[in-house]
Structure 1
Amino acid sequence: MGILAVITSFIGLSYYAVLGGWVIRYIFVSVTGLPKSSEAFFTSFTGNTGSQIIYYLVFMVITVAIVVMGIQKGIEKSCKIMMPLLIVCLIVIVIRSCTLPGAGEGIKFFLKPDFSKLTPGAFLSALGQVFFSLSLGTGATITYGAYLGKNQNIPKSAVSIAFFDTMVAMIAGFAILPAVFAFGFSPTSGPSLMFQTLPAVFDEMTGGKIFGVVFFVLVLFAAVSTSIAFLEVVVSFAVNTFKVGRAKASVISAVLITCLGIPCALSFGIWSDIKIAGKTFFDLGDYLVSNVSLPIGGILACIFIGWVWKSKNAEKEVTNEGKISFKLVSVWSVLIKFVLPVVIFIIFVTSNPWIMDLFQ
């Protein structure tokens, strides 16, 4: 489970840094003036080999610098200020996005359920997104867990994290999808939606240039908080396994991850036609992490906690020997041991035809 978590974080950062590079590019373009045709600018930018590599490297350097210097105090203190500011920015964008002409169709698309889409593949995609968003199966929760004090209320934190993660995702949906329909973009464009729709929204706002700069700076901080979690997992493994210094482990890990990630950065340009199993390097990395390694990591974690470490020992750790209340511990124990491994496995198998083919 530990080795898989390290591999997951390694691959995850390799393609996630591509998005981080995009955010940095949009900070600069927001300062100089948002493009009139955001879709054309995005296509031109992502197709430019030099720009893709440069901004990818800049994002990786920022990530490495933070991990080398230490992350606990700086990130924790900064999050208390910058994350609430990001939510405030998102709410302002929601108000403007939802009042655009034609935004109603986007709201309807977002909220009206289409039960024909509830396929096993959709459940796996949702499962992968939940795992990715909460850093489950990447080793980040284990690594960061080492920083927690004994008096930390883990059940309360877990509920709060899941709640606010979902809330921010809903806010982001209201910020982006109404604008997607208002400006005629495709709602199936994936990660690029934010970079195509929001500049168009800022262009329709008073003081949109300033607001765009602030927003993308805050998004960069959010992106870096995720990237350092990925890198910290790999670095911690290297430091403890190979007994090397933190700085050396950080630099070497980052170089290796970058070598794997450059093809992902070029997947939107000169290497867009190169595909493995019908997927570009970027899409393949995302698929391997979200649809394969994270669900498998989740199953292994359930098995380890429930059957190897034993849920009673986990309960003692979570409650600090009974000092912290965990009223649903009996339900949690049953879920960990019996329900979740089976549910995740069923979703995983039924959503991946190649697994079914192995048994035929």
Structure 2
Amino acid sequence: MQPSREKFSSKFLTIIVMVGAAVGLGNVWRFPYMMGANGGGTFLLFYIIFTALIAIPAMTGELTLGRNTRSGSIKAFETAMGNRFGQYIGWLMVACYMISSSAYLVILGNLLYASIFAGTTGFNACSTPEYEASLANGWMQYTFAVTVLLGTLFIVYLGVVKGIERVSKIIVPLFSAVLLYLVVYTFLLEGATDYMVEFLKPDWSKVNSDLIFAALGQAFFSLGLGGTIMVIYGSYMSKEENIINTATSTALFDGGAALMATFFIVPTVLIFGLNMSQGPTLLFYTLPQAFAVLPGGRIIGAVFLLALFLVAFLSIVATVEAVVGSISERLKGENSRKKIILALLIVEVPMIIPSAHDPDFIGKVDLYFGSGMQIFGSGLAVLVITRFLSKFDFLHEVFGSVTMKCHQHYYRWIRTAVPITIFIVLATYLWSQFTA
């Protein structure tokens, strides 16, 4: 335990920071295109079920693991599982996030470029080819990605209170206000409601192992689960904060943001006859086509893309904090955090190159590390914490009480049903891939 460890300033700011970590790429870049590629309302239904029954309990487990051990992933798993095996698991989780962050930095760089382009040049029939040509330039993408990396490392260098809290309490309310305005604006467009209702109709023929895996992966990705971010953020929570309330509030805000983003993007795309099933390119190629013909599209596009970049920036800050915070705990000396930040810069700069030059590589990283390893890591964190702590200690950590009957049921659910579901879905998906 580290007596001088930083903590979040208040319960309200704890939730704001958690929401900032969760809302972002998972909600606005990933959620609408995952819905478009997986049956619309069918995917949404499974996403809601998995969020309520699996992801929120898993987040509870991760926060509990972090707060109880007052550590990031490496030391938390080491404490709970034993020095040798636990340390390896912790390092694996951190390594996965380092790999995934190299791809997501490119997406953030593209968002930064798109927001600048929308605000200066604007999307129209003449400028869109120039914009798409620039996005196809790997070294341009690389330059913007490295710029985002530098900004991210600076915020992490400032620390939890002066860095992460300070930017989160500005960006999260700003993004919420922008998104609410855009949803209202969109539904004033003729036909928007009809398109949205049609899109949300479940298509049961789409239900298969791929959709179930995608919905569970989205629930975990969206909340920033994976045995890393929420573990270290849990370590910054005070003992007075109610973990289950924090997890539930974060999930509600996160899910609301995902739905609002969908309510803006889907009608906007469909009204102008564009394709919702474009996958990861939906945000960068399909949506600008809509901005080009949307009334007031230049202002709408610039505001939306800038707000999205800012909130997505919080997600990458959380990812980098999970890496830096976890590794720095393994080193002695007051300058260990500075050394890790510098080392991470040196490592990430070349790691960004493949994603900047190959969009398909981003998709693979997102599938294997953004879905697969995050589900696995979170499932492992739940297994570990529910076996490391006794039922009494776990319930006292989560609820502050062990007497209510519903608390006992919740413990049994998170100890058995949650990890079993996670690993069954993972195994089923892997089996379907090998036998396809």
| TM-score under structure 2 length normalisation | 0.72
1:350 to 397, 405, 428: 428
Separation in 1, partners of 2:164, 2:330: 25
Equivalence for 2:124: 36
Shift, 1:134, TM fit: 0.9
* Map of 2:397 onto structure 1: 317
* Cα separation, partners in 2 of 1:356 and 1:312, compared to 1, 3 Å: farther
Aligned residues: 344
1:295 aligns with 2:384: no
How many angstroms apart in 2 are the aligned matches of 1:325 and 1:171? 38
Structure 1 residue 129 and structure 2 residue 209: aligned? no
In 2, distance between residues paired with 1:227 and 1:42? 24
Secondary structure, aligned partner of 1:151: coil
Going from structure 1 to structure 2, the CA distance change for 1:78 and 1:151 (only over 3 Å counts) comes to: same
Amino acid at match of 2:196: I
Secondary structure in 1 aligned to 2:184? helix
Matches within 5 A, 1:17-32: 17-32=105-120
Aligned with 2:351 (options 260, 281, 298): 260
Q: Deviations over 1:18-51 (max 9, x none)?
A: 1110111022112213121486455323211221
1:58 Cα deviation from its structure 2 partner: 0.9
Matched AA of 2:392: K
Q: What's 1:7 paired with?
A: 95
1:340 maps to a residue whose letter is V
Matching of residue 240 in structure 1 with residue 320 in structure 2? no
Partner of 1:339: 417
- 1-structure distance, mates of 2:159, 2:354: 29
The answer on whether the counterparts of 1:231 and 1:254 sit within 8 Å (CA) in structure 2 is no
The 2-side partners of 1:19 and 1:306 are apart by 36
Tell me the equivalent position of 1:231: 320
2-structure distance, mates of 1:98, 1:195: 22
Aligned partners of 1:110 and 1:39: how far apart in 2? 27
Q: Which residue of 1 aligns with 2:51?
A: none
Worse-matched range after superposition: 329-338 or 67-76: 67-76
Give the CA deviation at 1:343.
0.9
Which secondary structure state, in structure 1, belongs to the residue aligned with residue 329 of structure 2? Answer: helix
Unaligned runs of 5+ in 1: 269-279
Deviations 1:212-231 (A, max 9, x none): 43333322221111111111
Query: What do residues 175-215 of structure 1 show as CA deviations (whole Å, max 9, x unaligned)?
Result: 00111112232212223323345545555666554444333
2:253 to 147, 158, 164: 164
Which shows bigger deviation, 239-248 or 193-202? 193-202
Q: Secondary structure at the match of 2:226?
A: coil
The corresponding residue for 2:5 is: none
- In structure 2, the gaps of 5 or more residues are 1-88
Contact 1:305/1:311 (8 A) holds in 2: no
Equivalent position of 1:83 in the other structure: 172
CA contact (8 A) 1:106 1:180 kept: no
CA RMSD, 1 decimal: 2.6
Closer, same or farther in 2 for the Cα pair 1:70/1:76, shift >3 Å? same
